[in-house]
Amino acid sequence: MEELSIGQEAPDFTLPASDGSEVTLSQYRGRKVLLYFYPKNMTPGCTQEACEFRDVNDRITAKGAVILGVSPDSLQSHAKFIAKNELPFLLLSDEDHKVSEQYGVWQLKKLYGKEFMGIVRSTFLIDEQGIVSNIWKKVRVKGHAEAVATTLDGE
């Protein structure tokens, strides 16, 4: 899969969501979508990222955007993660990592000398017409949600 770039149409998908619904990206046409991919619920970095997005959620929704988080975790894991951290946005379950592959974020990673496939933390801003308007790759968690909100503030 070649990597997505700014100006391309965001690949459409349907995934099960933490509220029990099925979410299709194209159902959000007419709104901006902040699609963030993260490796795993309940880990320190992913928890910090989710909580930082929670803390700027009102600013982001005030700009007519919606936040969707995507990880390979199960819906049950998402439910616990949302409850524990009071997350006001949907988390989508990409257990077979097909969507992560479409977005080019399912990659070979190294940790403690071991190689494995997993999600490289990345965020995509998709405009009202379904076009990728901004990409943050290999995200460093601290301050990322604020940077995204600031980008939206400037639009």
Identify the active-site residue in 46, 50, 68, 82: 46
Which H or E run includes 130?
none
To the query of whether residue 51 is one of the catalytic residues in this protein, the response is no
Both tokens of 72, joined, read 């390979």
d(CA 58, CA 70): 20
According to DSSP, residue 76 is labeled H
Across the beta sheet with 132-136, what order do the strands follow? 90-93, 65-71, 32-37, 122-126, 132-136
* Distance separating alpha carbons of residues 69 and 17, to the nearest angstrom: 10
The C-alpha atoms of residue 57 and residue 130 are separated, in whole angstroms, by: 20
Which residues are part of the catalytic machinery?
46
